[in-house]
Chains A and B, each alone.
Chain A
């Protein structure tokens, strides 16, 4: 690794101040699982590394009137073990469990996974299916935006040079919402997703689907919502044929690439199957069958 200067930021204000001073010459160190691997392979590293891993304000999971607030520095292991996550949005724990392996999950953070913004990230689809929002802090103050607006492209986010991702909020209206996450990789451990998918839904008093969400990863430049499938599902009574049809609509809407892991056609077929299964699982939860 090339040499750099190092500063441990004690709190959010300190980190933002450093970002405002050094901007593009600085990189944020959270869990380090992406950053250090990146710095080892890059020819020109940052001049300054700002370590936020000791900033207590960025850690922990709290239930607030607005929803469940997850500090950006919360590790994937902490999400897997959190009683609040298990009670209010267990799909996030299921998604966290598919990331890397134990060692990666012990260091890697939810915020880091989102900021790195690789299209195959495993934390994105479940969060999008729950209408998650992210909080950003910068010199001009704080702002909050939907996670879908945060992702701007492969490894590109809405973060400005002086901004820091501080938290992820699952809105109160999504807490307890039946949801499922499924991933298909070449192995169970240490494998990037060929495709991952999450689905969530409520049932109204007559047993019809309301507020369905279908989110897909690794089949577009960013985590995407399959809105055609969502519109098709809304207001319909759940039935196996309905989920098959929704899977087909999601497969038609996604834009996968062919690479050495899988062809675009194979990824499209996986989308159809994973969406169908995720919807069936969410429905089973909604009916109280699981």
Chain B
């Protein structure tokens, strides 16, 4: 077993993991953070997407030991007790989720995109979500929701900047 220390959703975590444990396995089975889903397990579906040091990654394709010293954001770290993140609210209000399985990954891919590109074109949003498969929505409403949230975040950048950073 190997001891790793990393910050997950703002809190320092110290875990003892087997070398073959994936980051996804550690998040779900050891920390009880089941927002990131186990889908294809080979990096095709994006249901396990989390943000590691500012980059969206498939947590199923990263070993937990590789997250040692990193900062990880999962869907559980996006909302506050009081309110949803603008992306979550937009996904809800514009009906961009149906079964919801792909939602956590899709929303984190969208956040990673907006963090570096606050004013994306529709095509850039499509490119940003290309690694997140959704079998329900047909994507149109998801793309609408990301563009809607982007607009809201640009209008209120200071409150947006604090989201997910605590």
Contact = CB atoms under 8 A, between A and B. Distances in A.
B is bound to A: yes
Interface in B1-32: 2, 18-20, 22
A190 B131 contact: yes
B131 A40 contact: no
Nearest to B128: A102
Contacts, number: 87
Nearest to B112: A102
Interface in B46-64: 46, 49, 55-58, 60-63
Interface residues of A, number: 29
B164 interface: no
Given A37-B42, A102-B109, A104-B58, A6 B131 contact: no
A107 B61 CA distance: 9
A189 B41 CA distance: 18
Contacts of A100: 43, 131
Contacts of B131: 100-104, 189-190
Given A1-B20, A40-B42, A188-B130, A102 B65 contact: no
Interface in A1-38: 1-6, 8, 29, 32-33, 36-37
Contact of B56 (A41, A102, A188): A102
A231 B58 CA distance: 44
Interface in B105-155: 109, 112-113, 126-128, 130-133
Nearest to A100: B131
B92 interface: no
B44 interface: yes
Contacts of A189: 127, 130-131
Given A103-B131, A104-B131, A77 B66 contact: no
Interface of A: 1-6, 8, 29, 32-33, 36-37, 39-41, 49, 51, 53, 77, 100-104, 106-107, 188-190
